[in-house]
Amino acid sequence: MAKTPAKKRISDTLRSRLPDFDKHMLLSELEVCELTGTPRGTLSRWRCSGKGPTPVKMEGSVRYYLSDVLKYVAERRQSSVRASMEDLHVAQTKR
């Protein structure tokens, strides 16, 4: 019997849990990486530099509230590079 890769198992787990969204659901580092497409090293670097979603440290492990991860992603959403540049230009002209 072939083993299922860890990434596949995590994806299946996330898909089964996301429909029952609970703002208090805690995700592991691997689940956050899978959900956001962010490498684990990047997530770790963000945590150490105070960037990224807010981590929760529990008994030596790091977890993230699903609501914090979704909020972090939503705050960084860009409709397009052009729209972002136009928003920046408008903000600069209002000064």
CA distances from 28 to 45, 66, 67 (A): 16, 10, 13
pTM for the model stands at 0.62
In this predicted model, what pLDDT tens digit does every residue of 66-90 receive, in sequence order? 889 988 988 887 666 677 677 777 7
Residue 20: pLDDT band (50, 70, 90) is low
Nearest 5°: phi and psi at 63? -130, 165
Given a cut of 50, is residue 1 above it in pLDDT? no
Percentages of the chain per state (helix, strand, coil), in multiples of 5: 60, 15, 30
Rounded Cα distance, 84 and 31, in Å:
29
